C-alpha cells in the first residue's frame, strides 16, 4: 500500500466489529508511527493503549457519566471560535451522514457515547509543561498512527468524545498527573454491515486550499 493509497483508504469509522486487534498489529502501527518528525526531535507523544477489560470498564464508566449528564472536562480545550468557512463545513456533516447512511444515521450519538464499540483505543498524551507547538507534533503522530493502521487493514477514528472524562481514563489507565490527555484514536476492524460506515466526508479542492506563486 502506498502513502496515497493509505490516505484514500482511511476514513473515520464509527462502528467496529468486536474482534480484538492483534497486539502484533498494534505494535507494528506504533513502531511505524514512531518515525513521525517532531520539533527538535522532542517526540512529545506518550500512548496509553486501552483494550480488553480496561476498555470495557472505561466504556461502562462513560455510560454512567452520560446517564448522570456529567459535564465534560477536556484537558485540551475546545476552540473558542471557528472561521465561517470551517463552520459551514461542520454544518454539512450531519446532512452528509443522513444522505449516505440512511436510517443508521440516527445511531450517530449512541455510537459516539459507546466509544464506537471499538476493541481498542489509543489515548495520546503529552507533558503539561509543553506548549501548543507540541500539539502540532501530536497531530502529525496521530496521522502516522492512522495511516499505518490502514496499511495493517485496521480502521480508525480520532474523536474528542473519547477523552471527555479524564478522571475515568486516569483511574483505569494509571495516567500520571504530569501528562495531559490530548486525543483518543479508536482502532479495530470496521463493521462492514453497519451503514454508518458508508459516510465519507467531502474535501476542499486543491484550488480552494493552495496558492502557487512564481
- Please report, for the domain that includes residue 131, its CATH number: 3.40.109.10
pLDDT digits over 144-161, tens only? 999 999 999 999 999 999
* Parent domain of 176: 3-199
Q: Taking all residues of the chain, what is their mean pLDDT, rounded to a whole number?
A: 94
Q: Residue 208 falls within a domain, yes or no? A: no
HEC secondary structure over 186-208: EEECECCCCHHHHCCCCCCCHHH
If one counts the domains in the chain, the total is 1
Q: Residue 187 falls within a domain, yes or no? A: yes
pLDDT band at 97 (very low <50, low <70, confident <90, very high): confident
Q: Residue 163 falls within a domain, yes or no? A: yes
* Adjacency order of strands within the sheet including 120-127: 46-51, 120-127, 179-188, 155-159
Q: Residue 213 falls within a domain, yes or no? A: no
pTM for the structure as a whole? 0.94
Q: Residue 59 falls within a domain, yes or no? A: yes
Phi and psi dihedrals of 91, rounded to 5? Answer: -70, -20
pLDDT digits over 158-173, tens only? 999 999 999 999 999 9
Amino acid at each position: 500500500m502506498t502513502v496515497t493509497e493509505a490516505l484514500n483508504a482511511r476514513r473515520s469509522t464509527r462502528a467496529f466489529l468486536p474482534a480484538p486487534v492483534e497486539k502484533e498489529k498494534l505494535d507494528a502501527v506504533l513502531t511505524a508511527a514512531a518515525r513521525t518528525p517532531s520539533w527538535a526531535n522532542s517526540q512529545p507523544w506518550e500512548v496509553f493503549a486501552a483494550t480488553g477489560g480496561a476498555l470495557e470498564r472505561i466504556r461502562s464508566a462513560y455510560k454512567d457519566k452520560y446517564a448522570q449528564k456529567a459535564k465534560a472536562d477536556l484537558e485540551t480545550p475546545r476552540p473558542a471560535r471557528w472561521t465561517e468557512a470551517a463552520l459551514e463545513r461542520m454544518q454539512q456533516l450531519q446532512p452528509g451522514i443522513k444522505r449516505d447512511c440512511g436510517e443508521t444515521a440516527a445511531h450517530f450519538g449512541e455510537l459516539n457515547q459507546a466509544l464506537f464499540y471499538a476493541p481498542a483505543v489509543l489515548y495520546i498524551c503529552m507533558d503539561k509543561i509543553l506548549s501548543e507547538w507540541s500539539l502540532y507534533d501530536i497531530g502529525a503522530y496521530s496521522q502516522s498512527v492512522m495511516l499505518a493502521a490502514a496499511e495493517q487493514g485496521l480502521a480508525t477514528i480520532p474523536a474528542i468524545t473519547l477523552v471527555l472524562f479524564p478522571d475515568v481514563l486516569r483511574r483505569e489507565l494509571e495516567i500520571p498527573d504530569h501528562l495531559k490527555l490530548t486525543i483518543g484514536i479508536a482502532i479495530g476492524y470496521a463493521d462492514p454491515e453497519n451503514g454508518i460506515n458508508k459516510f465519507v466526508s467531502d474535501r476542499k479542492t486543491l484550488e480552494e486550499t493552495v496558492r502557487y506563486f512564481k
